[in-house]
Structure 1
C-alpha cells in the first residue's frame, strides 16, 4: 500500500525549550520537501511544558507553515507527571500515538516519525523514511549524531530518528521501539541509510 501521509512527532520537555526554535526550523524544511513530493505532513509537538512557554516559539512559525501546501503544525499539552526524562518522553509519545490512531484515516498509508529537540533533521528526512516504507518497511531508523567532547557516549538514540507505520500504534510499538535500540522483538526495525540526524552545531552532509 502506498504511503501518502506523514506525521512527525516531537516530544518536548520543559528542559528542551531552548532547542525548540532550531528543531522546528529543520522539521518545517523537511515537511516542505515531503509535501513537494506528494506526502502531506503534520508536525505534532507533544509537550509537558506549559502553553505559555511554548506559545512564543510556535507563534513565530505558524504564519510560515500556513503558507505551505499540505503541511500542518499542531501542539498537544500534557502536564508533566514527573519521573526521569526517558520515562516522560515515552509517556508523551504514548499519549500522542493514542490520539493519532483515533483520528487518522488509512493508518496503513501513514508513517509516524519521531525526533528530539536537541537534534536537527536533514531536509530529506521524511521523504527518505517514506521511501523505505513504500518499499515494504514497517519501522525504520538511521544514524544520529550529537555534538560532544572526547569520550562522550554517541550511541544510537532510536527516538531521535524513528519511523513506524501508523497502523502499528495501538500495540504500543512506538514507545517500545523508542525505548529499545534493538527493537521490541515484534517488529523488524530497518536500520536504513536515512538522512543523518545531528545536533545543529555539527556540520555534516544530509545523508551518510
Structure 2
C-alpha cells in the first residue's frame, strides 16, 4: 500500500468542528507521507462553497509545505433549505461518502495499492491513524475499522454501537463493487459492535476490527498505539 485517500464528509453544521478535525487529519497525513504513503485529504461536503473556503483558507499555505499531502474539496449540494430539516444526518453522511467514492477509482493510478479511509469532523484522529490502517492492509486486510470514543451526555448507558463511518478503511479496488456503501451502512441505525462481513457484488469483504487506530472526541486523550 503506497497511497491513502481520507474522505471527510462535512455537513453545513459541521463547519464549526472542521478546523479542529483538520488539525488532526493533517498531522496524520504528514506522518503517513513520511512513512512513504502519499495522502490526499478529500472533503466531500454539502456546506456552502464560500463558507467551506473560509475555513480552509488558513490551511492552504501549510499544506503547500508538506510533501505528498494534498487537500481536495468536492461539493455535493443537499436537497435545499426547504427540506433540510427532514434530512437524516447519518443518511446524508453516507450519501456524501458514496458520491465521493463513485469517481475516485478512475482518478487513482493504482487502486490495489490505495487505502480509502473515512472519518467524521466530530472526532479527532491520532497521528498514526492512516499508518496503522495501512499496516493492517499491508498484512492482508481489505477493510478495517477501529475503536471510536466519544463523550456524549446523551449516550445511553451500555450503548456500545460502533460508528463504522468515523473510523473505516477500505481497499480502493473494492469501491466499484459497492463495498464502502455496505460497510458505512453498518454504522447507521441498527449497527453494532462485533465482526462484520460486508457483502458486495462478486464476493464478501471481511471488516476487521483492529485494536488500533483509535479515534476519539477532541476532549478525550488518545492513547499511544502499542
TM-score bracket for this pair, using the shorter chain length: over 0.9
Match of 2:184 in 1: 178
Residue of 171, 181, 193 corresponding to 2:211: 193
Match of 1:20 in 2: 18
CA distance in 2, matches of 1:125, 1:67: 21
Given that residues 11 and 45 in structure 2 are in contact (C-alpha distance below 8 angstroms), is that contact kept between their aligned partners in structure 1?
yes
1:44-193 aligned within 5 A = 44-81=42-79, 82=84, 83-149=87-153, 151=156, 153-181=159-187, 182-185=196-199, 186-193=204-211
Q: How many corresponding residue pairs?
A: 206
What are the ranges of 5 or more consecutive residues in structure 1 without an aligned counterpart? Answer: none
The farther-off stretch of 74-83 and 11-20 is 74-83
SS at match of 1:202: coil
Given that residues 195 and 206 in structure 1 are in contact (C-alpha distance below 8 angstroms), is that contact kept between their aligned partners in structure 2?
no
The farther-off stretch of 146-155 and 129-138 is 146-155
C-alpha displacement of 1:61: 0.6
The farther-off stretch of 195-204 and 156-165 is 195-204
SS at match of 1:79: coil
Match of 2:191 in 1: none
C-alpha displacement of 1:176: 1.1
TM-score if structure 1 supplies the norm length?
0.95
SS at match of 1:93: helix
Structure-2 change in CA distance of 1:14 and 1:183 (3 Å): farther
Deviations 1:10-53 (A, max 9, x none): 00011111110000000000000000000000000000001111
SS at match of 1:72: strand
Match of 1:207 in 2: 225
Given that residues 126 and 222 in structure 2 are in contact (C-alpha distance below 8 angstroms), is that contact kept between their aligned partners in structure 1?
no
Q: CA RMSD in A?
A: 1.4
Given that residues 145 and 154 in structure 1 are in contact (C-alpha distance below 8 angstroms), is that contact kept between their aligned partners in structure 2?
no
TM-score if structure 2 supplies the norm length?
0.87
C-alpha displacement of 1:207: 3.1
Larger radius of gyration: 2
C-alpha displacement of 1:180: 0.8
